[in-house]
Structure 1
Amino acid sequence: MRLRSKPVLCNYYVTYRCNAKCSFCDIWEKPSPYITLQDVKQNLLDLKRLGVQVIDFTGGEPLLHREIDQMLSMAHDMGFITTLTTNGLLYPKLAERLKGKVDMLHFSLDSADKTEHDTGRGVACFDFVMESIAVAKQLGEKPDILFTVFKNNLHQLEEVYQKIVLPNKLLLIINPAFEYNQVETGEQLTEQELKYLSAFGKRKQVYLNEGFIQLRCDGGNHIADPVCKAASTTLVISPENELVLPCYHLGAKSFPIQGNLYTLYLSQEVEALKQQEGRLPECEGCTINCYMQPSFAVEMNKYFWKALPSTLKYNYLKGTWKRLLLNS
């Protein structure tokens, strides 16, 4: 049973450029422009009309955009929940300008070991994450640690939790790695390892969407009976100011927005692509977290019930439920 027909989230790519070279990501290899303030303002107005509640300013590294603070401020003032994930390299420099504008601020950290983390990220950013935590706390911000879990760093989860998350009173987000396109993430987690993650997710100050675990146990999305609702729950806007469908990772088709996102999203051509969400051949076995999370929230099925407790827990701990209620 469908609970919500309107989209929930916008993944707004401010640029594909990045100052890191993560082994599990290919976005930094792409040439890219930067989005413009004028386009952002118009698109945010249309996203509001469409019913979107959360704007994820992403990349690449979103802090490379010199006007990112103005975009976050604009979205936040319009009542959107704002979210941003950074490798930490630029955060200490920009922290004052970002203060109070990011509801969900995530620092990427995949190991408590400096060498191990920096090797995976392709750049020396561990010390910057540590500095970012200190600066954010000093400013009264409540950042999260986003830990992307692979088989080869699973052993580091406990150490990050004990040495970094708990002492700093942070929230740990467990993000199981996923494969897409030609990007490989190594050997997949076993059922026993997934159970370990599931148990870890029940600890205090830890968020793990149980729907992710269930989906992996089920072999991912199946095109015969898709759980993925990427195109109808999530709008993807590219740095070229295009609407990308059905999701960023497939990017089957792009439509120039040209100042008219609202009409474009409701057009027959886009609607036809929405009908194919989760049903394309490439969608078989997909477990991409950023599209599954909103998919779990709009349809009452087993994934909805699996995801609900952790979603409530996170929004309670972050206090974002208040803003969601005010703007729903």
Structure 2
Amino acid sequence: MKLINHPVLCNYYLTYRCNATCGFCDIWEKPSPYITLENFKENIRDLKKLGVKVIDFTGGEPLLHRELDQLLALAKKEGFITTVTTNCLLYPKYAERLKGKIDMLHFSVDSPDEEEHNQSRGVKCFDKVLDSIEIAKKNKERPDILFTVFEENVDKIERVWKEICRPNNLVLILNPVFEYNNVETGESLSAETLKKLVCWGKQKNVYLNEAFIELRKNGGNKIENPVCKAASTTIVISPENKLILPCYHLGTKDFQIKNNLLELYKSKEVQEIVALEGRLKECEGCVINCYMQPSFSVEINKYFWKALPSTLKYNYIKGTWKELF
């Protein structure tokens, strides 16, 4: 049974540029412009009309956009929940400008060991993460630590939790790694690792969407009976001001928005693609967290019930649960 029949999330790619070179991501390899303030104003008007609640300001590295503070302020003024994930290289520089404008601020950490984390990110940024935590706390911000889980770093979760999260009273978000297109992320997560993640998800101030684990155990999305609702739950906007369908990672079609996002999204051509969500051959076996998270929240099925406890837990901690309804 479908609970919600409109998009709830916008993944707004401010730029594909990045000041890190993570091996599990290819976005930073792409040439890219930056979105314009004018286009953003036009698009959030229509995002609100479409029923979107959350805007994820993403990239690339979103803090590379010099007008990020203005973009966030506009979104907050219109009542959107805002999220930003950063590698922290630029956060100390722009923290004051961003203060109070981000509901869900995520700092990426892949290891409690400086050298290992920096190697994962392809740039020296571990010290900036620690600096950013202190600055954010002084500004009364509540960042989360986003830990991308690989087979080789799962045993580092405990140290990140004990050495970084608990002393600073931060939420630890466990993000199981996924592969897409030609981007290889190494060995798939084993059954033992998935079991460990479920146990960690039950700890205080640790967020793990258990439906992510259930989906992986079941072999991912099945095109004959898809769980993925990427195109109907999530609107993806590129730095070139294009609507990407059915999702960013497997996008097969894009449309220039031209100040008509509402009309474009409701058009016959776009809705025909939306109807194919989760059913394309590229969708077989997909476990991409970015799109499964909203997919699990709009339709009552076994994944909905698996996702519900952790979703309520996180939004209660962050104080954003009321804004979701």
TM category, shorter: over 0.9
C-alpha separation in 1, matches of 2:187 and 2:90:
32
1:192 equivalent to 2:186? Answer no
Partner of 2:243: 243
SS state at 2:255 partner: strand
SS state at 1:175 partner: strand
1:202 equivalent to 2:186? Answer no
C-alpha separation in 2, matches of 1:30 and 1:18:
9
Structure 2, unaligned runs of 5 or more:
none
C-alpha separation in 2, matches of 1:285 and 1:292:
12
Partner of 2:105: 105
C-alpha separation in 1, matches of 2:106 and 2:113:
19
Partner of 1:153: 153
Partner of 1:214: 214
Q: CA deviation at 1:322?
A: 2.7
1:191-231 alpha-carbon deviations (Å, 9 max, x no partner): 12101100100000100001100000000001010000000
Q: CA deviation at 1:93?
A: 0.5
SS state at 2:142 partner: coil
Partner of 2:314: 314
Correspondence 1:1-328 to 2 at 5 A = 1-325=1-325
C-alpha separation in 1, matches of 2:297 and 2:205:
22
Q: CA deviation at 1:251?
A: 1.3
SS state at 2:168 partner: coil
How high is the TM-score relative to the length of structure 2?
0.99
Counting aligned pairs with the same residue, the percent is 68
1:72-124 alpha-carbon deviations (Å, 9 max, x no partner): 11001110000000000000100000001000000000100000000010000
SS state at 1:166 partner: helix
C-alpha separation in 2, matches of 1:68 and 1:312:
28
Q: CA deviation at 1:37?
A: 0.3
Alpha-carbon RMSD:
0.5
Q: CA deviation at 1:250?
A: 1.0
C-alpha separation in 1, matches of 2:185 and 2:53:
31
Q: CA deviation at 1:321?
A: 1.2
Q: CA deviation at 1:324?
A: 2.7
1:286-307 alpha-carbon deviations (Å, 9 max, x no partner): 0000000000000000000000
C-alpha separation in 2, matches of 1:174 and 1:183:
20
SS state at 1:167 partner: helix
SS state at 1:187 partner: coil
Q: CA deviation at 1:181?
A: 0.6
Q: CA deviation at 1:170?
A: 0.2
Amino acid in the other structure paired with 1:123: V
How high is the TM-score relative to the length of structure 1?
0.98
After TM superposition, the runs of 4+ consecutive aligned structure 1 residues lying more than 4 A away are: none
Structure 1, unaligned runs of 5 or more:
none
